[in-house]
A and B are shown apart, each in its own frame.
Chain A
């Protein structure tokens, strides 16, 4: 359930402060918002099956930006249009620079674990964003 309203509630209930950037966010806006807010983590939701394409483009830009090279970035949702075969896209996305990639509903439990690994008290601000339709 990589629904942006749900993700915001989940992160807030875990003590996070959330800047929700909404749907269809252009890469440059994501970068600008990250420079402005300096979040502890950027959470990207993708549900249209283009995550493997848009995610690669985005992470390349983030990692090549001196200010943002170290920011923690994760992506989750429907990473491709191939159902269970989408799993291979997760490895590609991590290799390209994401700290983690979570496929579909099963990935939500892993995402929850990931949130647990963010050091207690350090979760100050998280940005949530969705890619295209």
Chain B
């Protein structure tokens, strides 16, 4: 049994965390770099409202947060699939949308949304989820957006039916649209979040770095790579150290930073459980030297949060970051179980599948050398399987055709509806159990 974190390789101190060497470019990255140098974690919501006035109030409220905050405009689902007519119809009828329809609102309206609120001390990122974001990126370039995000794989496989070769070609063109702007537009890879949960760290890291390399290949010079909190703080700490090391090694000639996402899977349902989950992600961000954190709120399991709920989560996160920094001894040991080596092997083997990063990604997925577990997209092999071991570590139970090894014997049996549900709800149970079990016990006493 090799499911214990304290393995054969000695732990390394975190103090050696890699940092970017190229000067920060553009408002977004300059703000992140400046905050990091001041010892402040940048916090960011996942906020989007259909109505311009509500969206504007949201941006102003985030700007006023006590802490280093950047703004978010999350784009609605119709715009993500280029169904701008449905977005326009919903606006006309006053129907609820799950975000701000940039293209349907148009350039002038979106420009008005940003004017006077976005600035050197408050850059704004547009977040979307589109596999074919040409309309969106053209609009963003014209309104002078500071930053956006996604990637040819991370916004194709989980959320679309677009063939991967088509998404890759579209993203190459879209990167050019941003790169050709006079001002720097920052682009973040969403590769560290694939499906939100049950994707082991090495693959998240490999995909985020590969998408970062793809962005660079297509002219972007200010890039962030991402990672989403999973099920084990120790494993996540090792993963973030590996991500920084690989970014320094493979993206060292561009401006880069790391963004961490508070858990993107099934979220705790109690307010206390949700805040504890958020707290864990903040402490992880500070300990790992991460520059930026995208938070979740106490109502995440139920609905789209209000402006106030977003502000509460951001201020809580900023306060926990200050607390963590004041008490964290430098050089907390980072486990070394081989995440860096596994991610590097995935990146290296992928790059052998093509002459450029885009064709290498397409080739690697076509042959199952990259294979996202539980992902139904037609261009994903969907042969690999991951499982959470009893210590909470996320492991490959079956790596499919990927050049990585399955761990121990845990999780080898077939996945059932019940076992999948158990794994999907792992963090929900972990963080809610204190409240729920405690309440039940009080009833007995």
Q: Is B299 an interface residue (CB 8 A)?
A: yes
B96 contacts across to A, CB distance below 8 A: 49, 52-53, 80-82
Contacts of A82 in B (CB 8 A): 96, 303
Q: Does B142 contact A (CB under 8 A)?
A: no
Kindly state the separation between the CA atoms of A68 and B160 in the bound complex, as whole angstroms: 26
Given known contacts A22-B378, A48-B98, A132-B80, A6 and B129 CB-to-CB distance under 8 angstroms: no
Asked whether A64 is an interface residue with its Cβ less than 8 Å from the other chain, the reply is: no
CA distance A48 to B83 in the complex (A): 15
Q: Is the CB of B81 within 8 A of A20?
A: no
Q: From A5, A13, A24, A52, give the contact of B81 (CB < 8 A).
A: A24
Query: How distant is the Cα of A80 from the Cα of B303 in the complex, in angstroms?
Result: 8
Residue of chain B at shortest CB distance from A80: B96
- Is A53 within 8 A of B90, CB to CB? yes
Q: Taking chain A's interface residues, is the majority helix, strand, or loop, or is none over half, making it mixed?
A: loop
CB of A49 within 8 A of CB of B376, answer no
Given A25-B161, A49-B96; A6-B417 close (CB under 8 Å): yes
- Whether, in the assembled complex, B421 has its beta carbon less than 8 Å from a beta carbon of chain A, the answer is yes
* Nearest-CB residue, chain B, relative to A7: B417
A50 to B304, CA, bound (A): 12
Interface residues on B, range: 20 to 34
Chain A contacts of B376 at CB under 8 A? 4-5, 20, 22-23
Q: Are B299 and A1 in contact (CB under 8 A)?
A: no
* Min CB gap B365→A, angstroms: 16
* CB pair B417 A133 closer than 8 Å: no
Complex Cα gap A5–B266 (Å): 14
In whole angstroms, what is the CA distance A26 to B158 when docked?
A: 16
Contact pattern, B 410-426, Cβ under 8 Å of A = 1, otherwise 0: 00000111001100110
Check if A53 sits within 8 Å of B160, measured CB to CB. no
Please name all residues of chain B whose beta carbon is closer than 8 Å to the beta carbon of A113 when the two chains form the complex: none
B97 touches A50 (CB 8 A): yes
- Which B residues are in CB contact (< 8 Å) with A9? 415-417, 420
Q: What is the chain A residue whose CB lies nearest that of B375? A: A5
Residue positions of A touching B, CB distance < 8 A:
1, 3-6, 9-10, 13, 20, 22-26, 48-50, 52-53, 78, 80-84, 86, 104, 132-133
18 CB-based A-B contacts, threshold 8 Å: A1-B421, A3-B420, A5-B374, A6-B421, A6-B424, A10-B417, A23-B158, A23-B159, A23-B161, A23-B377, A50-B77, A53-B95, A81-B96, A81-B303, A84-B302, A86-B303, A104-B302, A132-B81
